[in-house]
Amino acid sequence: MQRISSWTKLVTALGLFRYGTVAGGVAPTPLKAEWLNMVQEELANFILAYLPELDADDNTQLLKAIQAFGAAYPLKATTLAGYGIIDAYTKPETDWLLSKKANNAITLAGYGIGDAYTKAVIDALLAAKQAAIDNLAATKQDKNTALMAANGWRLDKATGLLEQWGSGYCPPDATTAAINFPTPFAEVYNCFGNKVTPNSQDGDGNAAGALAISATQYQLFNDTVAYGATIHWRAIGRAPGY
Does pLDDT of 91 surpass 70?
A: yes
25: left (phi over 0), alpha (psi -120 to 50) or beta: left
Mean pLDDT of the chain: 82
What's the pLDDT score for residue 142?
Answer: 55
- At how many degrees (to 10) do helices 91-101 and 119-140 cross? 20
User: How far apart are the C-alpha atoms of 208 and 198, rounded to whole Å?
Assistant: 9
CA distance 134 to 144: 19
Q: Within its chain, how far is the Cα of 189 from the centroid?
A: 33
Report the range of poorest mean pLDDT among 34-38, 54-58, 93-97, 160-164.
93-97
Q: CA 27 to CA 223: how far, in whole Å?
A: 108
3-class DSSP state for residue 151?
Answer: coil
Contact 221, 228 (CB under 8 A): no
Residue 41: is its pLDDT beyond 50? yes
111 or 17, which is more confident: 17
The residue-averaged pLDDT of 40-65 equals 92
Ranked by mean pLDDT, which of 22-26, 63-67, 81-85 comes out on top?
63-67
Instruction: Classify 82 in phi/psi space as left (phi over 0), alpha (psi -120 to 50) or beta.
Output: left
Vertex 203, ends 200 and 208: CA angle to 5°? 85
Instruction: For the chain, give every domain's residue range.
Output: 4-71, 75-139, 152-238
pLDDT, position 90: 73
pLDDT of residue 21: 86
pLDDT digits (tens, 9 = 90+) for 102-119: 444 445 555 554 556 677
pLDDT digits (tens, 9 = 90+) for 167-191: 999 998 899 999 999 999 999 999 9
Reply yes or no on whether the pLDDT at 233 is more than 90.
yes
Domain 152-238: which topology?
Answer: Immunoglobulin-like (2.60.40)
pTM for the complete prediction? 0.42
- Sorted by sequence, the CB contacts under 8 Å of residue 154 that are 6+ apart come out as 143, 144, 145, 147, 162, 163
pLDDT score of 78:
45
Task: Name which of 14-28, 52-66, 80-94, 148-162 the model is least confident about.
Answer: 80-94
